[in-house]
Amino acid sequence: MANLTSNFIGIKSPNPYWLASAPPTDKAYNVERAFKAGWGGVVWKTLGAEGPPVVNVNGPRYGAIWGADRRLLGLNNIELITDRPLEVNLREIKQVKRDWPDRAMVVSLMVPCDEESWKAILARVEETEADGVELNFGCPHGMSERGMGSAVGQVPEYIEMVTRWVKQHSRMPCIVKLTPNIADIRKPAEAAMRGGADAVSLINTINSITSVNLDTFSPEPMIDGKGAHGGYCGPAVKPIALNMVSEIARSPDTQGLPISGIGGVTTWRDAAEFLTLGAGNVQVCTAAMTYGFGIIKELTAGLSQYMDEKGFSSIDQLVGRAVPNVTDWQYLNLNYVAKAKINQDLCISCGRCFAACEDTSHQAISMSPDRKFEVIDEECVACNLCVNVCPVQDCITMEAMPKGAVDPRTGEPVRDYANWTMHPNNPMAKAAE
């Protein structure tokens, strides 16, 4: 049976699933329930500086989008960092870590952007014997208006500066949490690395308005008729997160920088995908907030079964396994030729492939009077839209043509690998030989 034990930048946990810094990790009561359920670790909900506690709105903090049967697809929130006194949080962190020494206890922090503030809070956190800190440079709402959270995360120089302070004033491992609300995720990651960060975690939430109430003309979630953008998370953001994780994992400038993957992890499969794209562990929030802590049983059992089936005995063997296959468009093989193929035994004749191809693509599917749908190889560019709109799994597949076979669309044989950098239409192309 696969060993799920995780060692992320020296922080050990029985499995690679941590609860992300968020409402589920706001106090001892929740965290203890999580540990009892089997979670590997937590990032305690973000602590602020000493002083009057943060206040939250007293109306809806969350908004959502759903599928037809109310499956929650995306969640947005406007909650701020912890609104409990610093003293209480620190006392509870210390107690929980003592009671659960085998679990990862990382503390998320967000204080004003001056060295003294950071120095002060770090000293307090160290006393709790927590395993590390995570710098919240990601929250896109509320705190960012006060020069914290994503306001720091959007300026690489600030990230580097604050990270440097943290490493200077603390011996604890330091994870820098990145905001996705930027143009190029590699820049803040590089800044964190320069500042001495032990790891980055991403993604934090994405600026969002979930919907508009068409009676009151208020954005949702709505507070007394008004709405402010929140941070978007949940299954809907996973593709964005996977890309950003892979960008950092494959960039030569951040090579080897450990990554904690966050963003829509809902099942073991999502977690495995993050790991293969270079995440050393994953953090989960929305799935737990939707279904409760009990999902950890599926998350761990599923990952374990997958690893057994694939012959992986430890998490490390999975981490980064897909990274070499992430490349730039210019290096994709332009001589790879595939054709859509419709399995007539599985086809239920709904005609969605036909409508999609005929109306919006390449007119490469024919329809007979008796509703038989067939691919016209002479027109098919293998765009995959028919596969994506077909309601029957594996009914339409993309079949690669063997080398040497003639593509009926172009009349050209399938040739050896060649990409855009070698293509004759590319004015910048280098000679193939």
Which residues belong to the active site? 139
SS (H, E, C) 325-352: HCCCHHHCCCCCCEEEEECCCCCCCCCH
| Three-state SS at 54 | coil
Binding test (CB under 8 A) with another protein, winner from 51, 52, 67, 225: 67
Q: Does the protein bind another protein through residue 372 (CB under 8 A)?
A: no
CA proximity to 413, closest of 404, 421, 422, 400: 404
Toward another protein, which CB reaches closer, 98 or 372? 372
Q: Does the protein bind another protein through residue 217 (CB under 8 A)?
A: no
CA proximity to 42, closest of 53, 28, 55: 28
Q: Does the protein bind another protein through residue 368 (CB under 8 A)?
A: no
Q: How far is the CB of 290 from another protein (least distance, A)?
A: 18
Q: Does the protein bind another protein through residue 36 (CB under 8 A)?
A: no
Binding test (CB under 8 A) with another protein, winner from 119, 229, 321, 352: 352
Q: Does the protein bind another protein through residue 70 (CB under 8 A)?
A: yes
Q: Does the protein bind another protein through residue 349 (CB under 8 A)?
A: yes
Toward another protein, which CB reaches closer, 69 or 433? 69
One-letter amino acid for residue 314 of the chain: S
CA distance 380 to 378: 6
| Three-state SS at 130 | coil
Q: Does the protein bind another protein through residue 392 (CB under 8 A)?
A: yes
The token pair at 420 is 């855009």
Q: How far is the CB of 350 from another protein (least distance, A)?
A: 4
Toward another protein, which CB reaches closer, 257 or 380? 380
Binding test (CB under 8 A) with another protein, winner from 317, 351, 362, 381: 351
Q: How far is the CB of 351 from another protein (least distance, A)?
A: 3
Cβ proximity of 320 and 276 under 8 Å: yes
Region for 52 from its dihedrals, namely left if φ exceeds 0, alpha if ψ lies in -120 to 50, beta otherwise: beta
- Partners of 177 in the beta sheet? 136, 201
CA distance 284 to 271: 9
Toward another protein, which CB reaches closer, 348 or 432? 348
Toward another protein, which CB reaches closer, 36 or 371? 371
Q: Does the protein bind another protein through residue 68 (CB under 8 A)?
A: yes
- Return residues touching another protein (CB under 8 A): 67-70, 348-352, 354-355, 367, 371, 391-392
